[in-house]
């Protein structure tokens, strides 16, 4: 990798971490360049301005999550229920991710909560293609009478379940025992969400996956 590429990579890495912690408005070009060991003029040279650096940082964080958990290369014979399970598992791996790279998810969630110009590019380049893939899988599993809008709602429901275990993690930790929370991991959650979805679509009866311990949430009667 050339010196120019190395400097650009350091800027993106440092910017992602600083933006994740402080947000676009509070983060400064000076502290980003200091963290990247780069000249103060480097941001303008490589990205034009702070806003473009932010957009590229958000997109890079998302692409890194995709690289860490790529979507399977399915054969044409792969059944749709298997593809659904694989899709949900991949999504959960990306959302819950590597704790050492938690800033990537933090940056993306910050962008979703306070959208900027990065949101549109993120949706069009990364999120929309995957959402359309999810809808196509659900369409294969759905009754013929289901409309496109209903299929989208099911897709949003799946995404929402996956996001919940990230966004509401502090709440989940308080609602269940620590031993049960330890089971909140991608493969077990994917099994539950897939079975739940297939049951909702009338493809099978819902059967509790093995990860369910039978414990009641704290405070339940």
Question: What does 18-54 look like in DSSP terms, one character per residue?
Answer: HHHHHHHHH--HHHHHHHHT--TTHHHHHHSSHHHHH
Which pLDDT score is estimated for 3?
Answer: 57
Chain-centroid distance of CA 83 in Å reads 18
State pTM to two decimals.
Answer: 0.84
Which pLDDT score is estimated for 176?
Answer: 86
Which pLDDT score is estimated for 147?
Answer: 95
Task: Give me the residue label for tokens 């991608």.
Answer: 186
Rounded mean pLDDT for each run of 10 residues along the chain, 221 residues in total? 77 95 93 94 95 94 90 95 97 84 87 88 92 97 93 97 90 87 87 94 79 44 35
d(CA 108, CA 118): 10
User: Helix (H, G, I), strand (E, B), or coil: what is residue 185?
Assistant: coil
Which pLDDT score is estimated for 41?
Answer: 93
């Amino acid at each position: 990798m050339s010196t120019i590429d190395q400097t650009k990579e350091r800027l993106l890495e440092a910017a992602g971490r600083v933006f994740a912690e402080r947000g676009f408005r509070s983060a400064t070009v000076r502290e980003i360049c200091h963290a990247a060991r780069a000249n103060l003029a480097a941001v303008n040279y490589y990205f034009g301005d702070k806003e473009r650096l932010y957009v590229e940082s958000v997109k890079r964080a998302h692409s890194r999550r995709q690289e860490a958990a790529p979507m399977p290369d399915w054969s044409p014979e792969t059944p749709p229920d298997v593809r659904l399970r694989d899709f949900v598992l991949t999504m959960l791996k990306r959302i819950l991710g590597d704790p050492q790279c938690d800033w990537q998810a933090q940056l993306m969630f910050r962008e979703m909560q306070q959208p900027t110009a990065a949101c549109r590019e993120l949706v069009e380049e990364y999120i929309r293609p995957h959402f359309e893939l999810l809808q196509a899988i659900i369409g294969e599993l759905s009754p013929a009478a289901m409309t496109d809008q209903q299929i989208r709602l099911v897709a949003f429901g799946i995404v929402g379940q996956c996001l919940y275990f990230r966004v509401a993690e502090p709440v989940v930790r308080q609602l269940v025992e620590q031993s049960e929370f330890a089971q909140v991991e991608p493969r077990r959650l994917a099994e539950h969400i897939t079975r739940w979805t297939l049951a909702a679509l009338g493809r099978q009866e819902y059967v509790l996956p093995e990860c369910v311990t039978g414990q009641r949430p704290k405070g339940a009667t």
